[in-house]
C-alpha cells in the first residue's frame, strides 16, 4: 500500500504588486529588494476574495488534472494561517463552495510548512485504507496580515493557493517519506501578536498594528538555512538517498539567499532547484505547493523522477518529503 499525488493545481490572483509599486509606499528600492530577497513582484487578491476563494480555484484545477469527479473526494485538508474566519474551518467553507457534503474537513496551522504537513497527513490517512482520495489545499491571503508601513516585511509577502489530490496506491512509488519538525521556543521570532484569545481585537491592538506579521529577520534567516538543510539531510539518511539522486529540489520560496544557502549546504546544484520567488514572493503554505504545480506543468518533473520538497515557517516549523513521481506526463 502507498499514496501518490494524482493531480496538482494552483491559483494566483491577477493583481500584481511590483517593487516599483512598493517604492511609492515605503522607503525601499527595487535594487534593495531584489538583492536581499530575489523578489521582483507578488500577487495580491482582490478585496472581495478570501483564502477559501483562492483554495477553491486551485482545487478545481487539481481535480481536473487528476481526471476525477469532485464527489470522489473523501476528505479536505486545508493548510492556512490566513483562514477566512476563526471558525468554521476554511476547509469546510471550501467544501461548501465545491458543492460537496458529508466528508471530513479540517484546517492545519503550520505556516509555511503547511503543505508538506498536509501531504503527510493525507499519506497517513490513505495508507491505512480509511480514505482513498484526499484533497490537500494550501491557501493564503498574506496581504491581509501585511503591514505596508514596515519595509522589512511588506516586500516579502504575496497571495496564492495550491492543491493536490492524494490517492491510495497499490505500489510503493508516490509519497515515499516525510520528516516533520518544530521548535516552539522560537515562536516569538515570527508571529502575529493579536487577534487570538490572548490579545483579542481592540482599538489598541488595531492602532498598534498588532494584527500584522512581525519577524526578527536575521534570526529567522539563520535558523531557516540550518533547519531546512537538516530536514533534507534527515530524509536523505532515512531513505539512503544522496544529493545526486534527486531530480529536483523544491524549497519554500521565502528568500533567494536562503534557497541558495540550503542548496549549497546540501551539495545540490541550482540547476536542480526550482525557483519562482521572483514572481510571487512568500505565500506561506502555498509557496511550495504552487512551485510543485508549476514544476510539473513546466516539464521539470517526469514520471520516475525523485523529488524532494522542503519548507520552513512560523512555529517555528520545518518539513521535508521525498516523492517518486509516478504520474504520466
Q: C-alpha cell of 152?
A: 522589512
The CA distance from 27 to 213, in Å, is 19
Q: 168 catalytic, yes or no?
A: no
Task: Determine phi and psi for 27, rounding to 5 degrees.
Answer: -80, 90
Q: List the catalytic residue out of 112, 141, 154, 308.
A: 112
DSSP class of residue 143 equals G
What DSSP line would sit under 213-274, residue for residue? -EE-HHHHHHHHHHHHHHHHHHHHHHTT--GGG-SEEEE--S-HHHHHHHHHHHT--GGGB-
Alpha helices in the chain (DSSP H): 19-23, 30-37, 51-66, 90-97, 114-127, 151-154, 203-207, 217-238, 256-266, 277-280, 286-297
Q: 78 catalytic, yes or no?
A: no
Q: How many DSSP H helices and E strands does the chain contain?
A: 11, 13
**134 touches 166 (CB < 8 A):** yes
Angle at 206 between CA 195 and CA 216, to 5 degrees: 70
Q: List the catalytic residue out of 92, 141, 154, 252.
A: 252
**237 touches 201 (CB < 8 A):** no
Q: 154 catalytic, yes or no?
A: no
Count how many Cα atoms sit within 13 Å of the Cα of residue 145 in the half-sphere of its side chain.
27
Q: List the catalytic residue out of 78, 168, 255, 282.
A: 282
Helix (H, G, I), strand (E, B) or coil at 306: strand
**79 touches 107 (CB < 8 A):** yes
Q: Which residues form the catalytic set?
A: 112, 252, 282
Amino acid at each position: 500500500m502507498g499514496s501518490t499525488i494524482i493531480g496538482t493545481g494552483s491559483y494566483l490572483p491577477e493583481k500584481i504588486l511590483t517593487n516599483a509599486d512598493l517604492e511609492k509606499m515605503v522607503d525601499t528600492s527595487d535594487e534593495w529588494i531584489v538583492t536581499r530577497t530575489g523578489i521582483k513582484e507578488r500577487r495580491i487578491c482582490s478585496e472581495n476574495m478570501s483564502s477559501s476563494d483562492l483554495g477553491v480555484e486551485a482545487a478545481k484545477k487539481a481535480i481536473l488534472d487528476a481526471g476525477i469527479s469532485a464527489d470522489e473526494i473523501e476528505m479536505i485538508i486545508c493548510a492556512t494561517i490566513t483562514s477566512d474566519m476563526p471558525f468554521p474551518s476554511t476547509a469546510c467553507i471550501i467544501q461548501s463552495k465545491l458543492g460537496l457534503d458529508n466528508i471530513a474537513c479540517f484546517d492545519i496551522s503550520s505556516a509555511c510548512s503547511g503543505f508538506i504537513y498536509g501531504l503527510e497527513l493525507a499519506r497517513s490517512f490513505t495508507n491505512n485504507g480509511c480514505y482513498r482520495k484526499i484533497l490537500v489545499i494550501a491557501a493564503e491571503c498574506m496581504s491581509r496580515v501585511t503591514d505596508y508601513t514596515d519595509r522589512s516585511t511588506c516586500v516579502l509577502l504575496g497571495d496564492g493557493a495550491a492543491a493536490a489530490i492524494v490517492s491510495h496506491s497499490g505500489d510503493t512509488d508516490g509519497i515515499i517519506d516525510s520528516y516533520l519538525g518544530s521548535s516552539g521556543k522560537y515562536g516569538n521570532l515570527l508571529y502575529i501578536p493579536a487577534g487570538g484569545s490572548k490579545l483579542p481585537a481592540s482599538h489598541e491592538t488595531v492602532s498598534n498594528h498588532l494584527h500584522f506579521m512581525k519577524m526578527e529577520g536575521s534570526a529567522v534567516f539563520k535558523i531557516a538555512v540550518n533547519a531546512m538543510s537538516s530536514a533534507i539531510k534527515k530524509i536523505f539518511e532515512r531513505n539512503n538517498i544522496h544529493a545526486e539522486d534527486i531530480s529536483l529540489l523544491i524549497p519554500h520560496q521565502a528568500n533567494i539567499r536562503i534557497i541558495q544557502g540550503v542548496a549549497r549546504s546540501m551539495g545540490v546544484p541550482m540547476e536542480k532547484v526550482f525557483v519562482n520567488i521572483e514572481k510571487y514572493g512568500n505565500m506561506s503554505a502555498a509557496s511550495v505547493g504552487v512551485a510543485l504545480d508549476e514544476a510539473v506543468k513546466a516539464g521539470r518533473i517526469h514520471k520516475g523522477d525523485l523529488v524532494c520538497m522542503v519548507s520552513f515557517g512560523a512555529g517555528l516549523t520545518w518539513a521535508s518529503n521525498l516523492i517518486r513521481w509516478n504520474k504520466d506526463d
